[in-house]
Structure 1
Amino acid sequence: MEDPRKPSPKMAGPGATGALLYAVGAAVLGMLQFGFNTGVINAPRTFIEAFISDNGYTSPSFIFGIVVSIFAVGGMIGCPLASWMTEKYGRKNALIFNAVFGIVGAAFMGFSATANSVAMLIIGRFLIGVNCGFATTASPTYVSEVAPVNMRGAFGTVNQLAVAFGLVGAQILGIDNILGSDEGWPWLLGLAVVPAAVQCVMLPFAPESPRYLLLGMGDEEKARVALTKIRGNAEIENEINDMQEEDRAARQEEKFTIMDLLRIKALRTPLFIGIVMHLSQQLGGINAVLYYSVTIFVRAGIVEETARLAAIGVGSVLFVMALVSIPLMDRLGRRTLQLCGLAGMTVFSILMTVAFFTYENNSTMSMFAVIFTFLYVAFFGVGPSSIPWMILSEMFGQGARSAAVSVGALVNWLANFIVGLTFIPMSEALGDYVFLPYTVLLVLFFVYTYFKLPETKNKTIEEVTALFKK
């Protein structure tokens, strides 16, 4: 008789069991939610501003900017909330709580037009921002802890793919013939209820993180049961031992607070590098494109219906580049890809500006404006989209990593908020030259990165941290 503990030859790969795929699928729906709500606000701007105006507001474009940017304020709250809840209540329970919270936020947005309430729309965007900020912390944590070591990098990229997929889905649903209309936009925003509701159904049947059960709760028996289910066999001793050894090493390592990171030079330098990486991701202008690409294309002379179709290309390019960057990350290295991405974004932000102020005399420049925008997004996908999220983890030891990653996430959401709130006033003030401030910042980020960012490819944490102690 065949040993039931023996791994099935039909597995998708080492450790890629049905239980593992189910758990990862349930978790990354939160990242799909993040992508969806980043892209969903783009296409229906005209209709939402009309709704705001009909409710007596004299500056609908400013209120729309608040609707867009309040999402990031929620994200800034969701990140630390997730860190606290995942440690206190477990990864799975925290994700379930967040899914329920997402349903509430989606309901506020979806019923705002029925209630004729702009306040409900703003509250809904804030709540869904908390939900998405929570997901960007909790979902990757859960996925990394249930995935086997040899597949952790591959499963980690699923988070970025889910974000891009949600973004594309939102842009497709936002075209005129589907939900991009005066009647359809509340349904479009309210569709955020779907991934949250599916998570509520799926997560109760997913296993808790074995790492949390063993190290967080100290329950080795439950950890063994969960790990056996996820791996599909009982050969888990080495993994249990590795977790326990890592825990012993972590207990011996000194813990550092955020104030320690600012006070100690060997920690302050990599922290500032990580902060600049996060700022380069947001202040390079990418969310101006993700939030307002329809507005940008209309400004370049594209008919609004066509502009909504072109906006789908933005998310599609980001999705493709998420796939392309996976093999490049370990071949070319973080530093090379970050510099390449920033340089490409700089070049094409300049060319976008040229296309914007010349299209009236040359109609073909409208099409070039779209092409240059796609290439700008493509270079963002090469490095700046993912490297800031991983670089802090690679520059800090276990004792300082949590504090450093928390600072990076907070800075990222804060910069996201600034871009979302300021793009419309900047667009009205600068007109066709709206991307020049981003271009200047991209040049500064490139120079800083060139001189300050070390290559972390194929280096251990000890080797990287030693660079900053010299």
Structure 2
Amino acid sequence: SQVYPQVGGPPNWSGSLIVASLTGAFGSSFLYGYNLSVVNAPAAFIKKFYNETWERRYGFSVDESTLTLLWSITVSIFAIGGLVGAIIVTPIVKFFGRKCTLLFNNVFAVTAALLMSLSLLAGSFEMLILGRVIMGVDAGISLSALPMYLSEISPKEIRGSLGQVTAIFICIGVFTGQVLGLPEIFGQESRWPYLFGAIIVPSLIQVVILPFLPESPRYLLLEKHNTSKAERAFQTFLGKEDVSHEVEEVLAESRVQRNTKLVSVLQLLRTRAVRWQVITVVITMACYQLCGLNAVSVLQAMASPRDKVHAVPFKNKMLLFVFQGLVIERLGRRPLLIGGFGLMIVFFARQFTTDTDLLFPLSGGIPFVLTGEFFQQSQRPAAFMIAGTVNWLSNFAVGLLFPFIQGGLQTYCFLVFAAICFAGATYLVFVLPETKNKTFHEISQAFAKRNKVSLEMQEMNHYSGERKSSTEQESNFTSSVDNGETKKGIV
């Protein structure tokens, strides 16, 4: 049976597609969200642990400024690890593939969980700090590898909806970290290491389930040149036997590219045909982090009692992202992004008279979706590295600078974020095309004029492979049969 029963009708979500997205997100973006919030509840206990360790080693208590510095490093160094992960993700996904990268990444998560959960027993706060760095590396890799995997296993008709799984599970992770930090659960002096040990659970679940699911069929075709495995992967994810159309569509992209050599970050930055796509990803990702949501979380933690769980804004965010996932293929990426930043400005205006629980953006995980849609297969890893680097640098900047901004501007500190949202929305109004249900070629055409690449040149670049004679195409794609498997190779 066909996945799409009628033209324009809603596609069927296969069981394998759902399991792959949920399992991948639970062991990846969930842990990112969890580690953003998990350090807030036990902050007082961790500082006490730092002080006691310092006194035992050196014979005197640590001064307040040094303790504050140690705590700031503990919190912010997660973003530094994330930056490292975003930088190294390109060679990893090239060597291991998308799915196997997610599996390999659990080594970082389990190692970090053991270091952080055993730090109190070992009497070493360095283990906790090192664990936060390693956990950041895990998050940096997963926030690039997971959207890449989801965008390549999903039909374009539901690509945006499936991409929202990343954002939804980030919110679930934040919410879970806050709930487990309650005094009635692990928010006690003797139990706070369990908050970090719990990281092992999502990792183990992913390790058990994900190996039974296929690798990205596009990766198998375009980078491993294994047609038979790619066909089986398509059949599994799409829930149908006849996948010849999907295979031919991907092979057509491969013929257009003429080779599947991955593009480096420097090469991508120098490519005129994707210049404005790169700029749009950078600005959208930066605005997503600099829009002030993380700052509101920091402000709540600073201004409220330890045992109060700030679950309301993140619960609202989670519900909003679920709603966004349902409507993104109907409304499109462009109105949700522009409208989201516009509403953020309205909500910032309400900060002067209402509680910050009302604040949440509509942009969600759309920046990650756009990164997967803007670029062809050979450019995608480099694009996600750029997006991830901007994401983590912006995240680190907010955590580092917001206390100073808040101290200097007080209530008016949110005007800075309102200005960022306004600038981002204005840019998107004039530059961002709608990408829902569009192929890479169609999206590239929408940027052609702005990139100062003629439509004729775009057509030549994309369809030059189609104009070749069958003899020439045969020379580009050689087939060999090995143990019953057809493998495609590029000469």
Indicate the TM-score class for this superposition, using the shorter chain for normalisation: 0.7 to 0.9
In structure 2, do the counterparts of structure 1 residues 345 and 44 end up closer, same or farther at CA, with 3 Å as the change threshold? farther
What is the TM-score of this pair, normalised by structure 1? 0.82
- The separation in 2 between residues aligned to 1:431 and 1:228, in whole angstroms, is 57
2:36 to 35, 38, 50: 38
Letter in 1 for 2:312: G
45-54 or 89-98, which moves further after superposition?
45-54
Q: Distance in 1 between matches of 2:142 and 2:348?
A: 30
Residue pairs, 1:102-181, within 5 angstroms: 102-181=109-188
Q: What are the Cα deviations for residues 157-207 of structure 1, in whole angstroms up to 9, with x where unaligned?
A: 222222222221111111221112222222112211111121122223222
> Could you tell me which residue of structure 2 aligns to residue 192 of structure 1?
199
Question: Retained in 2: the 8 A contact 1:339–1:449?
Answer: yes
User: Partner residue of 2:385?
Assistant: 406
Partner of 1:358: none
Residue identity over aligned pairs, in percent, reads 34
Residue 261 of structure 1 deviates from its aligned partner by: 5.3
Change (3 A) 1:163 1:462: same
| Alignment equivalent of 2:359, drawn from 376, 385, 403 | 376
Q: How many residues align?
A: 434
Q: Which residue number corresponds to residue 349 of structure 1?
A: 348
The corresponding residue for 2:322 is 323
Greater mean deviation of Cα atoms: 224-233 or 281-290: 224-233
CA distance, structure 2, for counterparts of residue 330 and residue 222 of structure 1: 29
User: In angstroms, what is the RMSD of aligned CA positions?
Assistant: 3.1
- Give the Å deviation of 1:425: 4.5
2:70 is paired with a residue whose SS is helix
Check conservation: 1:68, 1:291, Cα contact below 8 A.
no
For the structure 1 residues 331 and 15, does the alpha-carbon distance in structure 2 shift closer, same or farther, using more than 3 Å as the test? closer
Matched, 1:26 2:5: no
After superposition, the Cα gap between the structure-2 partners of 1:214 and 1:68, relative to the gap in structure 1 and judged at 3 Å, is same
Say yes or no: does 1:54 pair with 2:52: yes
Letter in 1 for 2:366: I
Q: Could you tell me how far 1:317 is from its partner in structure 2? A: 1.1
Secondary structure of 1:55's counterpart equals helix
Q: 1:162 to 1:116 in 2, by over 3 A?
A: same
**Counterpart among 402, 405, 409 of residue 423 in structure 1:** 402
- Report the AA paired with residue 387 of structure 2: G
Q: Note if contact 1:109-1:124 (Cα within 8 Å) is conserved in structure 2.
A: yes
Question: Which residue identity lines up with residue 32 of structure 1 in the other structure?
Answer: F
2:224 aligned partner, one-letter code: M
Instruction: Map 1:89-100 to 2 at 5 A.
Output: 89-100=96-107
Aligned-partner Cα distance in 1 for 2:275–2:153 = 32
Question: How far off is 1:227 after superposition?
Answer: 3.6
Q: Distance in 1 between matches of 2:250 and 2:274?
A: 26
Tell me how far apart the structure 2 counterparts of residues 292 and 401 of structure 1 sit (CA, whole Å): 36
* CA distance in structure 2 between the aligned counterparts of 1:41 and 1:291, rounded to whole angstroms: 11
Q: Matches of 2:284 and 2:151 in 1, distance apart?
A: 22
| Structure with more helix by fraction | 1
Shift of 1:122: 1.0
Cα deviation for residue 104 of structure 1 reads 0.5
Q: Deviations over 1:322-362 (max 9, x none)?
A: 0122344344444433333223323333432x35xxxxxxx
Q: Is the 8 A contact 1:173 1:180 kept in 2?
A: yes
Give, as a single letter, the amino acid of the residue that structure 2 aligns with 1:312.
A
Q: Secondary structure at the match of 2:241?
A: coil
Contact persistence 2:31–2:173 (CA under 8 A): yes
Deviation (angstroms), 1:31: 1.6
Q: What's the counterpart of residue 340 of structure 1?
A: 339
Give the deviation of 1:80 after TM superposition.
3.3
- Counterpart check, 1:69 vs 2:51: no
Alpha-carbon distance in 1 for matches of 2:108, 2:152: 23
Q: Judge conservation of contact 2:163–2:369 (CA < 8 Å) in 1.
A: no
C-alpha contact (below 8 Å) 1:39/1:291 kept by paired residues:
no
Residues 136, 264 of structure 1: alpha-carbon distance in 2 compared, 3 angstrom cutoff = closer
Q: Does the 8 Å CA contact 1:279/1:415 hold for their aligned counterparts?
A: yes
Per-residue displacement from partner, 1:286-311 (whole Å, max 9, x unpaired)? Answer: 22234553224x2xxxx443xx23x1
Report the equivalent of 2:464: none
Q: 1:399 to 1:461 in 2, by over 3 A?
A: farther
Structure 1 residue corresponding to 2:220, chosen from 207, 213, 216: 213
Amino acid at match of 1:420: G
Q: For structure 1, which segment, 36-45 or 257-266, has the greater mean C-alpha deviation from structure 2 after superposition?
A: 257-266
Spell out the pairing of 1:222-241 with structure 2 (5 A cutoff): 222-241=229-248
Deviation at 1:449, TM superposition (A): 4.1
Report the AA paired with residue 451 of structure 2: K
Instruction: From the superposition, tell whether residues 236 and 333 of structure 1 become closer, same or farther in structure 2 (CA, over 3 Å).
Output: closer
CA distance in 2, matches of 1:35, 1:184: 21
Q: TM-score, normalised by structure 2?
A: 0.78
* 8 Å Cα contact 2:282/2:387 also seen in 1: yes
Residue matched to 2:445: 463
Note the C-alpha offset of 1:458. 6.8
Which runs of 5 or more residues in structure 2 are unaligned? Answer: 55-61, 453-491
Contact 1:42–1:293 under 8 Å retained in 2? no
SS at match of 1:469: coil
Name the CA shift for 1:136/1:45 in 2 (closer, same or farther; >3 Å): same
Give SS of 2:258's match: helix
Given that 2:332 and 2:434 are in contact with CA atoms closer than 8 Å, whether structure 1 keeps it comes out as: yes
Report the Cα offset of residue 232 of structure 1.
4.7
How many angstroms apart in 2 are the aligned matches of 1:450 and 1:16?
A: 32
Task: Kindly indicate whether the alpha-carbon contact (under 8 Å) linking 2:151 and 2:372 is maintained by their aligned counterparts in 1.
Answer: no
Which of 13, 24, 29 does residue 16 from structure 1 map onto?
13
- Per the TM alignment, residue 414 of structure 1 is displaced from its structure 2 partner at its CA by 0.7
Compared CA separation, residues 145 and 328, structure 1 to 2 (3 A): closer
Question: Are the counterparts in 2 of residues 280 and 445 from structure 1 also a CA contact under 8 Å?
Answer: yes
Unaligned runs of 5+ in 1: 356-367
Match of 2:475 in 1: none
Q: Deviations over 1:125-180 (max 9, x none)?
A: 11111111111111222223333444433322222222222221111111221112
C-alpha separation between the residues in 1 aligned to 2:261 and 2:113?
42
* Matched-pair contact (CA < 8 Å) for 2:157–2:329: no
Residues 79-110 of structure 1: CA distance to partner in whole angstroms, max 9, x if unpaired?
23232222112223222211122100111111
Instruction: Check whether the contact 1:228–1:234 (CA below 8 A) recurs between aligned residues.
Output: yes
